[in-house]
Structure 1
Amino acid sequence: MSELFNNFSSSIVFLHVISAVIWVGGMIAIRFAVHYSIQEIEEPKIKLGRTLENLRRFFNMVIPAILVLLITAIIMIIALGFKGTELYTIVIVKEIIWTVMTIIFITIYMKRNKAQKAFNSGDFANAKNDLLPIATYYIPANIILGIVAIFLGITLRGF
């Protein structure tokens, strides 16, 4: 891993950072731009359909970013030899944050799929109920956690 990182450190760090930006930045865009613009749609069926489609497209973009983030994190943790150093605590905290974020993401993914099934069967009330906690709780929680993790990553790179 050390040789891999030494030969491709700029690319690995870039992929790691851009993956975090795609994930966290995508959630910020969805929550504070797309969400509010969709609220202006008056027809409930169209509003739900657009929300489901936007989340589907978001997942297509974010799932690869999450995988790249995980792979590059493992490479950097091993190659930079954080284990046994005073910085390892920060690494562990970042791992915990990204793990919690991934669990929340999986929850969002499952809720969206459940909402899609309800929508497809014409059960718009349940589709709406399945989507509501995504915008209200899950995405805001992941935005906050993601910003903290990015800050910790910058702290690690500064040492």
Structure 2
Amino acid sequence: MGSFYVNYLPLIFTVHIFSAIVWIGGMVGFSLTVYPSVMQIPNEKMSVRTALRTLNRFFKLLVPVTLLLGISGFLMASGRDYAHQDPVMSVIVTSKELLWLFMAVLYLYAWYKIKEARARCLASDSEHAKDNVKLIAHYIFGIASLLGFCAVYFGYILRSV
């Protein structure tokens, strides 16, 4: 694993950073720009449907990004062999992995809420659908973004050692 890691480190690192930027930046971008703009559409049902379509496209983009992020993170953690080095580094790697795992759970929960909001919207219950979209945009993406920034900081610590 060591020679593979050394030979492909620039590619692995680039894929990892790009994936993290898309994941975190996409959530921040949706919460701060797309969601407020979509909610200004006068027709409530139309605004909720537009937000749901946008979220659906974003989540389809996140599936391969999440896989690339996980695989590249695993390759970097095993290539540097943090488990057999300093215990503090091992704790940082484990903490970073747990942060991304929790964000993946939030992602799955948000996906469930999108499906629920779509069903409510189709049943002409746009008020509850709007509440689900608001939950995703304000709270789930907000928490996941903060956790993502923490994971980026941990990654910075690991790269600088």
TM interval, shorter chain, is over 0.9
Q: Is the 8 A contact 2:31 2:138 kept in 1?
A: no
Question: Does residue 61 of the first structure (1) align with residue 61 of the second (2)?
Answer: yes
Q: Does 1:83 align with 2:97?
A: no
Matches of 1:113 and 1:150, distance apart in 2: 30
Look up the equivalent residue of 2:43 and give its one-letter code. Answer: E
Runs of 4+ in 1 over 6 A off after TM superposition: none
Identity %: 28
Question: 2:117 touches 2:129 (CA, 8 Å); kept in 1?
Answer: yes
Counterpart among 116, 134, 144 of residue 132 in structure 1? 134
After superposition, where does 1:6-155 map in structure 2 within 5 Å?
A: 6-86=6-86, 87-155=89-157
Distance 1:85 1:119 in 2: 53
Letter in 2 for 1:111: K
Q: Distance in 2 between matches of 1:80 and 1:137?
A: 35
What is the CA-CA distance between 1:55 and the residue it aligns to? 0.2
The one-letter amino acid paired with 2:126 is F
Question: 1:156: which partner in 2?
Answer: 158
Secondary structure in 2 matching 1:40: coil
Shift of 1:77: 1.1
The answer to whether the Cα contact below 8 Å between 2:110 and 2:136 also exists between their aligned partners in 1 is yes
Aligned partners of 2:131 and 2:49: how far apart in 1? 14
Provide, for residues 25-72 of structure 1, a one-character-per-residue CA deviation record: whole Å limited to 9, x for no partner. 000100001111112111101110111011011111111111101011
Q: Which 5+ residue runs of structure 1 have no aligned equivalent? A: none
Gaps of 5+ in 2: none
Q: Take 2:69 and 2:3, find their aligned partners in 1: how far apart are those partners? A: 19
- TM-score normalized by the length of structure 1: 0.95
Contact 2:55 2:114 in 1 (8 A): yes
TM-score (norm 2): 0.94
Q: CA RMSD in A?
A: 1.1
Cα offset, 1:109, TM superposition:
0.5
